Amino acid sequence: MKYKILIIDDENQFSGLLSFRLTKTIDCEVLTADNGEEGLKAAQMTHPHLIILDLLMPVMDGFVFLEKMADDITLKKIPVIVLTASTSPTSRDKLTKYLNVAEIFFKPVKPEVLIKRVNQLMASV
Amino acid sequence: MKQFNFNPNSYFIVKNFLIILITILLFIDILCHNIFCMIGNNLFAHLFVCLLFLIAIVTFFTCEHFQWQRLAEANNTSKALDIIKREEALKENNRRAMLHIMRDLTGSMEEIKKLSQVKSDFISTVSHELRTPLAIVQESISQLVEGLRGPITDEQEQLLKVSLCNVEWLGSLIENLLNISKIEAGKLELKRIEFNVVDLISEIVSAYALMVKKKGLEIINKCPKEAAMVYADKDLIAEVLRNLLSNALNYTEKGYVEIGFVLKENKVEIYVKDTGFGISPIDQAKLFNKFIQIGRIHGPGSKGTGLGLSISKGYLEAHGEKIWIESSIPGQGTKIVFSLPRRKTNEI
């Protein structure tokens, strides 16, 4: 079975690079979305094994996305890695209520650290 | 003494210090003369004279405090006042006088607070905006170094690794600037828990094992096996320990780095000792200031950002604790100590 990973980030250059790394180092298929709304549609259609999510995005931000995910019975158990440039303690506190958020990383994260965590989560799927 | 007005911004001049002293002395003398007549020339009378003299002197030197209190009471509010006491030569007769200037800083304090808020908001926005491009640069270079984008020559790899090192340094600089702005804005939220210092120290020491081996140094963990419980923010204290250890390792070329603690009545005093370069007394005075790197040339490098000790101090002060240099002899090493509130086993 090929793993499916969804990256939701408004920074296309970053999601492009990350997607390249993931496909090269893990046997997986990577989908990308520019914001929460597109991400939600993509998630509902493809049911990925893991979502890598940015927080501050236009149209629909990461928090609203997580809220919508929690309301959807088919999505609410998909593990999420939050990968954001926003380090405020309030956003960190807000994230604790979403049980499917498996990890919070701040940009720039070391690639080996991110890949290690993705591998761990994939192994538990 | 002449006081001009009693506005929030007020000043008064004590004209000719000596004259006032002499007046007080004369006053005491006259008073004492009468007393001497009454009670006779004995030891108590002399003591009484001394006491009066002392009261007069204290009153004289603390007169601005009375003014300060009266000013605060008159406005019926708590005031932030700045009192400057300066010895000046008066123009008219070139005599010396004591000039006291009082300034009401209450309004300015609010302004300072607002400015500090603007500054910390600015830093947090800027660091957010910097993190995103930095992540892109880091990821791009990493992919090239790892050969994910095709083979590269050794020379290219070397150059890219240097770039990567500097990207990491920039990342930690941003992180540290954010921490400093949080400390300065008083926005540091402590998540205090009870934890065992012995476990934390051995965890951090083992993380440095590789670096220590590479440098050919030794790290001695002097902690006993028995638990020593403290009540503090574990993540912040871990960062303080990491800062102290990496400083000790960076500034030590041969010998060892020792870490341990001393149990006091209500405190645990943790120390990090090295056999490194040591710090001169002049540098010791500014050691906990921002952007201080002793013996370091300007520009990025692998050594650090010069913010570690300043941040550590901020973290410990937020806990109501202290950090200090216990001893430092140039050429012989440094010992830095910090305290943490102790939680004894029977209090748990």
Pair (B270, B177) in one structural domain: no
Pair (B338, B202) in one structural domain: yes
Pair (B334, B208) in one structural domain: yes
* C-alpha span between A8 and A60 (Å, rounded): 11
Q: Does the domain at residues A3-124 carry the CATH identifier 3.30.420.40?
A: no
Question: What pTM was estimated for this model as a whole?
Answer: 0.61
What pLDDT is recorded for position B62? 56
Position B127 confidence tier, pLDDT thresholds 50, 70, 90 = confident
CATH of the domain at B259: 3.30.565.10
**Number of domains into which chain B is organized:** 3
Position B289 confidence tier, pLDDT thresholds 50, 70, 90 = confident
Q: Which of B124, B129, B134 sits opposite A108 (nearest CB)?
A: B134
What pLDDT is recorded for position A31? 92
* C-alpha span between B307 and A22 (Å, rounded): 35
Instruction: Please enumerate in sequence order all residues whose Cβ is within 8 A of that of A71, keeping only pairs 6 or more positions apart, or say none.
Output: none
Q: What is the pLDDT of residues A64-116, one digit of tens each?
A: 999 888 888 888 888 999 998 877 767 777 888 888 888 888 888 888 889 99
Position B52 confidence tier, pLDDT thresholds 50, 70, 90 = low
Pair (B236, B279) in one structural domain: yes
Report yes or no for ipTM above 0.90. no
Nearest CA in chain A to B150: A24
How far are the Cα atoms of A11, A100, B173, B287 from residue B134, in angstroms, in the given order? 12, 28, 12, 30
Q: Do A20 and B148 touch (CB under 8 A)?
A: yes
Predicted confidence (pLDDT) at residue B200 exceeds the cutoff of 70: yes
Nearest CA in chain A to B191: A89
Distance from CA of A14 to the nearest CA of B (A): 5
Pair (B292, B207) in one structural domain: yes
| A87 contacts B125 by C-beta, under 8 angstroms | no
A11 and chain B: CB distance < 8 Å anywhere? yes
- The residue extents of the domains of chain A are 3-124
Q: Which residue has better confidence, B130 or B1? A: B130
Last residue within a domain, chosen from B61, B80, B104: B104
Please compute, for residue B199, the number of CA atoms within 13 A of its CA located in the half-sphere on the CB side. 8
Pair (B215, B307) in one structural domain: yes
Residue B131 belongs to what domain range? 109-184
A50-54, B133-137, B218-222, B293-297, range with the lowest pLDDT: B293-297
A94-108, B88-102, B272-286, range with the lowest pLDDT: B88-102
Distance from CA of A87 to the nearest CA of B (A): 8
Q: What is the mean pLDDT of chain B?
A: 75
How far are the Cα atoms of A57, B79, B85, B192, B318 from residue B13, in angstroms, in the given order? 63, 22, 10, 51, 41
Position B216 confidence tier, pLDDT thresholds 50, 70, 90 = confident
Which of A11, A87, A112 to mutate: most B Cβ within 10 Å? A87
Nearest CA in chain B to A106: B131
What pLDDT is recorded for position B1? 45
* Partner B, chain A 28-87, Cβ-Cβ below 8 Å: 56, 85-87
What pLDDT is recorded for position A19? 93
Pair (B226, B334) in one structural domain: yes
Pair (B213, B177) in one structural domain: no
Mean pLDDT for B131-157 is 91
Pair (B215, B96) in one structural domain: no
